[in-house]
Structure 1
Amino acid sequence: MRASTQRVVTQDGAIVTTSHPLDLAMTGRGMLPITTLNDARGDGQPSMLMTRTGAFRPDAEGLLRTDSGLVLMGWPTLPDGTMPLVARDTSAALEPIRIDTNRPVSDPTTQVMLGANLPALETLPTGSGAALPLKVEYFGNLGTSESLDVTFIPDTTVAAGMSNAWVVEIRDSASNDAMIASFRVTFDDSQGAGGALATVTTLTGDPYDPATGSIPLTVGGGRIDLAIGVPGGTSGLKQLASSFSPSNIAKNGSPVGQLLTVEVDAQGYVMATYDTGFVKALYKIPVVDVPNPNGLVAVQGQAFKVSPASGGFFLWDAGDGPTGEIAGYAREASTTDIAQELTHLITTQRAYSSNAKIIQTVDEMLQETTNIKR
């Protein structure tokens, strides 16, 4: 008899739902990139292993690792949460994923969308001419709360009828309330597009971009793009015969917040949620695939490494190409049926006992034949 082992890597196990967001499993072809704890703590480039599933938890150093010491790896994102261009046929850009649970984080505002209705009757010659103030909060680079003070001044200089024109002035609290931009806007009064933005003329500051509908503002902490709408569009500034109403003001950014939870979405992004409501992508986990998964070499801890039989690896985005998605709150069950394997073991044992009995019987018959000759 000769014993042999065979590992069928391509045979997927059932996905079992768990209660922890960092229990990860693959829902199709592909594997998660990991490395050993010693490599993750070293100064050099960590070696890349791979696994199908794992219960990853942050340790005292913030490394996402399993109990057996396998550390999850991913590509770090840019400060704005987007992914840079990386090589897919090498692991050089992969880093051990480290979560700083006790470090406060802020997110400065870079975009503000300004939506408001300006009262058309105020542009009549009989209008009051009073300026309409609006304060818009934004967050500075250090998490401070700042504001853009926007003033809408109606044009009442047209002798007859509405001018449909306003002068908009913007002051910044982080710049000692200095005026950082001003522009003149006019609105369409035609039957088909009445109330829509018609033209924007820059008076001071950076020029308006009609393609994006935004004006770059230089505030105390850097640059903010103020979106007021494109000419003829349905969003942004409008002018109708109604009261002044800031109806849709939105911005990105957040004040200083503490980490609440970390989850991994189906595309492999490691998403951190803070107590201020700020959600940021910290890493992106690729999916590792090789031409022949059954040729991978098994190592300790349900991990694998490439071999000449498996072929070289390629790092896919989760769900792209031949690979599946990454499932959080899930583990992959074993593909081994214990009851069936015990049944096979008992059958093999009985067959071995029967064969041994046959050999014993033959031996006794030969012994009896020898005795007869004597």
Structure 2
Amino acid sequence: MSISSSLNAGVAGLAANATRLATISDNIANSATYGYKRASADFDSMVINQARSAGVYSAGGVRAATSRLIDERGSLVSTSNALDIAVSGRGMLPVTTQVSLGNITGEQPLMMTTTGSFHTDSTGTLKTGSGLVLLGWPANADGSISVLPRDTQAGLKPVVINSNQTAGDPTTKMRLGVNLPAVETKAGSAGSIQPASIEYFGNLGTSETLSVTFEPVVPATGQSNQWRMVIKDSAQGNAPIGDYTLTFDASRGNGGTLANVHVNSGGAYDSGTGTLALTVDGGALEMAIGKIGDTNGLTQLSDSFATTSITKDGSPVGNLTAVEVDENGYIRATYDTGFIRTLYQIPLVDVPNPNGLTTLNNQTFQVSPDSGSFFLWDAGDGPTGAVVGYAREGSTTDVAAELTNLIQTQRAYSSNAKVIQTVDEMLQETTNIKR
């Protein structure tokens, strides 16, 4: 009976608009929630009578389908916390729950979120106030990241940063710039030995010294333009680790630059890079003395001995002063000695259909059959965006649009209620026929 179908359609309309009202209420309530993705209610018509020219029509009504618009991005809001992290573009941060860290099996559920305000707890674990723990790939001692699987969470570990940690940075490279007096290699000169002392840092953060002596080769007649360079390591009891004969160019075009380096003992000289491959107590050390014809390394000019420049990497033991994350997702610690160490890399999780993810509490999501399998990307690679520190992602709710939808929903709900009222009056008239 058509009048009964009208009643059913009106009831379906009330239910559908009530569902839409619920999504609007949720959106408005979370208009200030960081990382919130607004919900949407879409209506689909239901058709019962498909026969043409039947003379009778039965109302099918309407049904509501809700969805979460996860692929929408909110605007980024600047903050003062270095570990307030957001994603600018596609991709999500891998997280897990704090309670799952105590699982006997050692496995944690992989969840994802687009933003979070992370702080260290008493154990140094980075987590949000709601208990979400940030996951990442731990760096090796040299700051590199191992090759790990991208389609599984096997390599992901909770990010742990101890604020009271110290670290040393051993010296592995140095550049030596020294000018040697040309007059010392002339016949009849005093042949004075010229010393230089260079500090370097060992594997345990200790301060060690390389003692470098330059002894001129004084000929019987003329000028040799040659020096004997001996390098000694204090960490090895001042034992020699390199002995070289340096010959300098005396031509007009390249006068004063290196012409030849002869290895008497110790590490080899690479003419392509201008470096000596030394071995100190802690391991290999690369010392740059300049290429052949290079004016930036060792030179022999004029009549004075001068250290023009000495640069090296490494630092003594330092205390942690700051932890920040860069746009590539690398978490780096800065120490009061100026040393910067890479601790973790935060990959970005992406799925083929973000809107198909299962929505959980605290603005987190999990993979579902509708979303497809996840893949872990380096930030900025593939379809993913950049990781942004000192920032949070705002809610995607547009309050003005939601209030407009609220007015429309209210009117539609009232109209469906009016349909039910009208059907009730018509049924009352039908029952009055008997009277």
- The alignment's TM-score, normalised by the length of structure 1, stands at 0.93
Shift of 1:27: 1.0
Structure-1 residue corresponding to 2:331: 270
AA partner of residue 121 (structure 1): V
Structure-1 residue corresponding to 2:146: 84
Alpha-carbon distance in 2 for matches of 1:153, 1:41: 66
**Equivalent pair of 2:184/2:303 in contact (CA under 8 Å):** no
Identity of aligned residues (%): 56
Structure-1 residue corresponding to 2:115: 53
Aligned length: 373
Q: 2:187 aligns with which of 125, 140, 148?
A: 125
Structure-1 residue corresponding to 2:394: 333
- The alignment's TM-score, normalised by the length of structure 2, stands at 0.80
Which has more radius of gyration? 2
Residue ranges of structure 1 left out of the alignment (5+ in a row): none
Q: Answer with 230-239 or 268-277: which moved more.
A: 230-239
Structure-1 residue corresponding to 2:298: 237
AA partner of residue 118 (structure 1): L
Alpha-carbon distance in 1 for matches of 2:350, 2:292: 48
Alpha-carbon distance in 2 for matches of 1:52, 1:252: 37
1:1-374 counterparts in 2 under 5 A?
1-2=15-16, 3=19, 4-42=65-103, 44-157=106-219, 159-161=221-223, 163-241=224-302, 243-364=304-425, 366-367=427-428, 370-371=431-432, 374=435
Shift of 1:150: 0.9
Alpha-carbon distance in 2 for matches of 1:194, 1:201: 19
Shift of 1:62: 0.7
1:264-285: per-residue Cα shift (whole Å, max 9, x none)?
Answer: 0111111100111111111111
Structure-1 residue corresponding to 2:7: none
- After superposition, the Cα gap between the structure-2 partners of 1:195 and 1:316, relative to the gap in structure 1 and judged at 3 Å, is farther
- After superposition, the Cα gap between the structure-2 partners of 1:321 and 1:195, relative to the gap in structure 1 and judged at 3 Å, is farther
- After superposition, the Cα gap between the structure-2 partners of 1:206 and 1:45, relative to the gap in structure 1 and judged at 3 Å, is farther
- After superposition, the Cα gap between the structure-2 partners of 1:309 and 1:363, relative to the gap in structure 1 and judged at 3 Å, is closer
**Equivalent pair of 2:197/2:212 in contact (CA under 8 Å):** yes
For the residue of structure 2 that corresponds to 1:6, the secondary structure is strand
CA RMSD of aligned residues (A): 2.1
For the residue of structure 1 that corresponds to 2:421, the secondary structure is helix
Shift of 1:194: 2.9
Shift of 1:261: 0.5
Alpha-carbon distance in 2 for matches of 1:63, 1:300: 21
Alpha-carbon distance in 1 for matches of 2:107, 2:425: 67
- After superposition, the Cα gap between the structure-2 partners of 1:323 and 1:355, relative to the gap in structure 1 and judged at 3 Å, is same
Shift of 1:372: 6.8
- After superposition, the Cα gap between the structure-2 partners of 1:48 and 1:237, relative to the gap in structure 1 and judged at 3 Å, is farther
Alpha-carbon distance in 2 for matches of 1:84, 1:198: 42
- After superposition, the Cα gap between the structure-2 partners of 1:309 and 1:197, relative to the gap in structure 1 and judged at 3 Å, is farther
Alpha-carbon distance in 2 for matches of 1:290, 1:201: 59
- After superposition, the Cα gap between the structure-2 partners of 1:46 and 1:131, relative to the gap in structure 1 and judged at 3 Å, is farther
